Structure 1
Amino acid sequence: MFKLNNFIRICVAIVLVMAIIYLGSLVDFLFKPILSLITIITIPLMLSAFFYYLLRPLVNMMERKKINRSLAILLIYLVFGIVLVGFILGVWPSLRSQLLNLVNNAPSLFASLNNQLQELERSEFLSNFFPKDVSPSTQVTNFLTQGFSFLTNYVTGLFSVISDITVIMFIFPIILFYMLKESGDFGRAIVRITPKRFHEEMAKVIAEIDRSLSNFIVGRVLINLALGVLMYFGFLIIGLPYALLLTVIAFIMNFIPFIGAILSSIPIVIIGLIESPSVAIWSLIVILVAQQIQDNLIAPYIFGKQLAIHPITTIVLVMVGGDLAGILGVLLIIPIYMIIKIIVVRVYEIFFKRSWENI
């Protein structure tokens, strides 16, 4: 009877929650200003959280050196400003030159790609792998068309999200400053609003979430930097054109779980194929070797087993995140999954583990 009463109460609670959601949907005009505000601050909050976990160890170290926390943050901002100026003066001209060169030479590059594909199509070795009525060049062209359409849609969606770049660049440093200055206050505030008997458990949950997000973000940046360095030197060795530009694209795309590595490899192999089939093969070898070093040597050393997520789980999460919220969903789905997993495990241990195991 006791179990039946608990089941009935849970069912009633679920029905009430669904009723509240339904009634809320009938007066959605009341929530549009809130949704608009959330849309505006989403990108600044993402950037602030990202740089918060990157810079917090440095701020904490400077505070231990008896430097005022606010002054430490301002000094870091100053250093970042100097680094940004150095990037604009030193790296950006080369990067911009390669980008403009790639855009201006796009017609001739596609013509060269078509010629290379036709040469491969006439190859007896390659013809053995395709039926006679199948044209590899046609298949690749169709694939590239679909790929460019996919990338165009995502880039368009991304630009629509960050269209108000002025607002973002104004809000982001302010939010980041207060997050770094008041580090830990948000977690303590969450603990205080929970019932006293759960303060200790809630503090553990907040600490575990904080540690997991910190390890994930800092680890991802370090891994992507290592991958970028390996790929860049590999591309220089094999003589791949636009090596710096392609490495920067790969570095950024690899922040997208699983599919980022695949998407970033496509333009690299295409540029290599335009140069020659051998360069395409070597560029693919460089990518595979760099990713194997990343996955088997660097990632286990940085992450350990704390953030081990099964590849199938990652694929499913990325697909769900992309379907729900596009590029933002893809970027946020893994951290959200980690947070939910920690909360669910802790709730199970507190409320259900003992009673369920004694059944």
Structure 2
Amino acid sequence: MTKLNKLIKLCIGIILILLIIYLASLVDFIFQPILSLFSMMIIVPFLMAGFFYYLLRPLVDLMERKKIIRPLAILIIYVVIAICVVGFIIGVWPSLVTQLTNLVVNAPSLFNALGYQLGKLEQNGILAVIIPENADLMSQVTDYLNKGFTVLTNYVTGMFSFFSNFAIILFTFPIFLFYMLKEGEKFGKKMVSFLPLRFREDGNEVMGEIDHALSGFIVGRVTVNVALGVLMYIGFLIIGLPYALLLTVIAVILNFIPFVGAILSSVPIVIIGLVQSPAVAIWSLIVILVAQQIQDNIVAPYIFGKQLDIHPLTTIILVLAGADLFGIVGVIVIIPMYVVIKIVISKVYSRFFKKAWEGV
């Protein structure tokens, strides 16, 4: 009878929780501004701080080994970063703004030049192999470009909304990052301390594996993308591709999206190359392929090793799921989330289920 009463109480508790969730969903207009403010003030700065924590932690550790106290080492790094940001604003930002402005101003003439080049290719029969004769190439290209501009406009609108709250992020992000760099290693120990005593050794192993995997992924991804950007920019300068700096920056940013980003970043580069001439388009594609091959076969294996052995099909599914669930933020964080969940599930399986299921 006692067990039956406990079961009834548990069922009533679950029903009440579901009822509260349902009632809250009916008045979500009340909670939505609060959730938006919470995400802007907490989640976004926390994700940014976590990203830079893994980038800067090796440097802070190195300075600490050189007998510089940790808070002072962090402040020195902050000063160096501030100097680099000022240098970027003075040296690089004007060129980016100029190229972006020229691209927007020259967009009509670029479309006309693109139409002219596609018309020539269509007349010469070069595109007949991949495009049927009755297909209206220009209308298809225009349709795709219009859809692309619509998506771009939506993201730009979202970015303006993001930067309207940038002051909040700019204020909270350095504070989060400072305390992460100062006491970040205590965070894992604090989480493990909530576990029962017999599971704490396993918890420490899991936290260590997660920390190692995230550190390797973030530092490796940044290193690989910077190397790719340098290779592409040099190649674009050699072939004389217009807007080389702007296109390289776009390519580096998009390449943070695993697997899919490399394809997306190639589209505007090849289009701008085709506006110049088919030869420039071909050479720009060659530059992309060569840079990608150097990245995938030389730089990435050296940086990543075997620590993130994720199948390309798994990566595509994860990216699509992340985009559907959380938008652009989901696309960026889905792989680290997958790595963390995989480590936890593997440890739980080996600890509780492997012996029973495999007889090991």
Q: TM-score, normalised by structure 1?
A: 0.91
Distance 1:273 1:131 in 2: 21
C-alpha RMSD of matched pairs (Å): 2.5
SS at match of 2:184: coil
Q: Where does residue 145 of structure 1 map in the other structure?
A: 146
User: Do structure 1's residue 39 and structure 2's residue 39 form an aligned pair?
Assistant: yes
Q: Where does residue 107 of structure 1 map in the other structure?
A: 108
Distance 2:11 2:257 in 1: 34
Distance 2:20 2:265 in 1: 45
Distance 2:101 2:330 in 1: 31
Distance 1:242 1:130 in 2: 29
What amino acid is aligned across from residue 24 of structure 1 in structure 2?
A: I
Relative to structure 1, is the Cα distance of residues 108 and 38 closer, same or farther in structure 2, using a 3 angstrom cutoff?
Answer: same
Aligned 8 A contact 1:208 1:342 in 2: yes
Distance 2:10 2:34 in 1: 26
What amino acid is aligned across from residue 117 of structure 1 in structure 2?
A: L
Relative to structure 1, is the Cα distance of residues 124 and 356 closer, same or farther in structure 2, using a 3 angstrom cutoff?
Answer: closer
Question: How far apart are 1:13 and its partner, in Å?
Answer: 8.9
Q: Where does residue 60 of structure 1 map in the other structure?
A: 61
Q: TM-score, normalised by structure 2?
A: 0.91
Distance 2:129 2:58 in 1: 57
Question: How far apart are 1:116 and its partner, in Å?
Answer: 1.1
Question: How far apart are 1:270 and its partner, in Å?
Answer: 0.8
Q: Where does residue 298 of structure 1 map in the other structure?
A: 299
The 5 Å alignment of 1:1-359 reads 20-21=17-18, 23-28=20-25, 35-40=35-40, 41-358=42-359
Question: How far apart are 1:72 and its partner, in Å?
Answer: 0.4
Distance 1:83 1:196 in 2: 46
- Output one character per residue of 1:286-323: Cα deviation in whole Å (capped at 9) or x when no partner: 11111111111111111111101111111111111111
Relative to structure 1, is the Cα distance of residues 109 and 296 closer, same or farther in structure 2, using a 3 angstrom cutoff?
Answer: same
Aligned pair count reads 351
Gaps of 5+ in 2: 1-8
Relative to structure 1, is the Cα distance of residues 184 and 109 closer, same or farther in structure 2, using a 3 angstrom cutoff?
Answer: same
Distance 1:239 1:273 in 2: 12
Distance 1:309 1:16 in 2: 40
SS at match of 1:27: helix
SS at match of 1:183: helix
Q: Where does residue 4 of structure 1 map in the other structure?
A: none
What amino acid is aligned across from residue 133 of structure 2 in structure 1?
A: K
Distance 2:14 2:230 in 1: 50
Distance 1:111 1:176 in 2: 48
Aligned 8 A contact 1:154 1:326 in 2: no
- Output one character per residue of 1:109-151: Cα deviation in whole Å (capped at 9) or x when no partner: 1111111111112113333543221122222222222222233
Distance 1:157 1:17 in 2: 38
Distance 1:274 1:97 in 2: 19
Gaps of 5+ in 1: 1-11
- Output one character per residue of 1:165-222: Cα deviation in whole Å (capped at 9) or x when no partner: 1101111111101110112111010011111111100000001101100000000000
Aligned 8 A contact 1:59 1:73 in 2: yes
Q: Percent identity?
A: 61
Question: How far apart are 1:103 and its partner, in Å?
Answer: 1.5
What amino acid is aligned across from residue 35 of structure 2 in structure 1?
A: L
Distance 1:85 1:161 in 2: 22
Question: How far apart are 1:22 and its partner, in Å?
Answer: 5.3
Q: Which moved more, 1:208-217 or 1:25-34?
A: 25-34
Question: How far apart are 1:163 and its partner, in Å?
Answer: 3.5
Distance 1:13 1:347 in 2: 25
Aligned 8 A contact 1:228 1:247 in 2: yes
